[in-house]
A and B are shown apart, each in its own frame.
Chain A
Amino acid sequence: DTGVSQDPRHKITKRGQNVTFRCDPISEHNRLYWYRQTLGQGPEFLTYFQNEAQLEKSRLLSDRFSAERPKGSFSTLEIQRTEQGDSAMYLCASSRGDGATEAFFGQGTRLTVV
């Protein structure tokens, strides 16, 4: 059990560029979550997967955001045409498949849009 892994740890991009982040959950965790956190705030829910199915998306997830988990293992979060307001920490978490289990988070990807 190596924990939740996120890549890259830091990303600086110019406004208008596309970026993609990757999350590798704890093996055998079939739930995977994406959150966004801005300075001084708690993490805000973006979306979650049960295996490969995306079961819920927040209204925060505009049309420029897309997430996938094609084989029910790792997940990617893509942001198209980045804006300065997208600058934040993007956190991934995973848990087992029932509602009572502990969620484990990765170290996050810090995105800076310049």
Chain B
Amino acid sequence: KQEVTQIPAALSVPEGENLVLNCSFTDSAIYNLQWFRQDPGKGLTSLLLIQSSQREQTSGRLNASLDKSSGRSTLYIAASQPGDSATYLCAVRGGATNKLIFGTGTLLAVQP
């Protein structure tokens, strides 16, 4: 059974700092991994999608990496801003199920 873990559960950083969020998964047989952002009381906004054959994806100040063999992904946020404050969720899709399996998220607070 696929399990997804995110570390740390919460993170507080001063504005301008670069930071890394971690995601690990137990079954490496995945189609892809997706990072989402969730603001309080809102739905999920897709940030980056990494296919199983890819090593990384970049969008603006965000860079996500994938090491399928070790079951790990990282989300790197450069030059953090207060507007980046949110919960960040990673999810893997794989096997016969076609469903996304989520971690519990990292709550990020960027202090001005």
Interface residues of A (CB under 8 A from B): 4, 6, 31, 33, 35, 40-45, 48, 55-56, 89, 91, 93, 99-100, 102-108, 110
Compute how far the CA of A94 lies from the CA of B51 in the bound complex, rounded to whole angstroms: 17
B44 touching A43, Cβ below 8 Å:
yes
- Contact residue among A99, A103, A108 (Cβ-Cβ distance under 8 Å from B42): A108
A33-B99, A45-B100, A56-B97 are known contacts. Are A102 and B34 too (CB-CB below 8 A)? yes
A91 touching B43, Cβ below 8 Å:
yes
Binding site secondary structure of chain B: strand
Compute how far the CA of A14 lies from the CA of B102 in the bound complex, rounded to whole angstroms: 30
Q: Which of B51, B99, B102 has the most CB of A within 10 A?
A: B99
A43 touching B102, Cβ below 8 Å:
yes
Binding site secondary structure of chain A: strand
- Contact residue among B46, B89, B98 (Cβ-Cβ distance under 8 Å from A99): B98
Does B7 make an interface contact (CB < 8 A)? no
Chain B residues within an 8 Å CB radius of A41: 104
Closest 9 CB pairs of A and B: A42-B102, A105-B44, A107-B43, A99-B31, A102-B49, A108-B43, A45-B99, A105-B43, A42-B104
Does B103 make an interface contact (CB < 8 A)? yes
Compute how far the CA of A42 lies from the CA of B25 in the bound complex, rounded to whole angstroms: 14
Chain A residues within an 8 Å CB radius of B102: 42-44
